[in-house]
A and B are shown apart, each in its own frame.
Chain A
Amino acid sequence: MNFWPIMLATLAKDIRLEWRSKDALNAMLFFSLLVVVIFVFSFDPLAEESRHIVGGLVWVAFLFAAVVALNQTWARELRNQVLDGYRVSPAPATALFVAKALGNFIFVSVLEALMAPLFVVFYNLHVLGPAWQLIPVALLGTWALVVNGTFFAAMSLRTRSRELMLPLLLFPVSIPAVVAMVAATTNILTGENSAHFYIVLLLTYDVVFTTACLGLFETVLQAE
Chain B
Amino acid sequence: MGCRTEPNTACGLNPRASLNRRKCGAVPAAPRLLAPSCAPSARLLLQKVTKTHRFSAVLRGQTNPRGALLLVTNPPTVPTGAPIVVVNGLIKQFGRFAALRGVTTEFGAGKFYAILGDNGAGKTTLLRGLAGLAHPTRGTISILGKTPQEACRDLGYMAHPSLLYDEMSGMENLRYVARLYGIAGDERCQQVIRAVGLDADLGRPVGQYSQGMRQRMSLARAILHDPTILLLDEPFSNVDVHSAREMAGLLKHMRDAGKTIFVVTHQASLLEGVADEFIWMQAGQIVNRTAQLDPLPPPAEKA
Contacts and interface: CB of A to CB of B under 8 A. Distances in A.
Nearest to B225: A89
A80 B161 contact: yes
Given A1-B182, A6-B180, A16 B131 contact: no
Contacts of B131: 88
Chain A interface extent, by class: 20 to 34
Interface stretch (B21-29, B32-40, B164-172): B164-172
Given A6-B180, A13-B168, A16-B168, A88 B162 contact: no
A10 B157 CA distance: 20
B132 A9 contact: no
A20 interface: yes
A74 B152 CA distance: 23
Contacts of B181: 89-91
Given A9-B176, A20-B167, A80-B166, A224 B135 contact: yes
Nearest to A17: B167
B274 interface: no
B133 A5 contact: no
Contacts of B153: 90
B144 interface: no
B179 interface: yes
A160 interface: no
B221 A85 contact: yes
A87 B135 CA distance: 12
Interface of A: 1-2, 5-6, 9-10, 13, 16-17, 20-21, 76, 79-82, 84-91, 222, 224
Given A5-B179, A13-B176, A84 B152 contact: no
B165 A76 contact: yes
Contacts of A1: 182
A169 B150 CA distance: 32
B219 to A, nearest CB: 13
A203 to B, nearest CB: 32
A184 B192 CA distance: 55
Nearest to B214: A80
A82 B164 contact: yes
Contacts of A81: 159, 161, 163
B151 to A, nearest CB: 10
A85 B181 CA distance: 11
Contact of B180 (A16, A20, A91, A222): A91
B248 interface: no
B134 interface: yes
A80 B163 contact: yes
B286 interface: no
A9 B179 contact: yes
A224 B134 CA distance: 7
A210 B159 CA distance: 33
B255 to A, nearest CB: 21
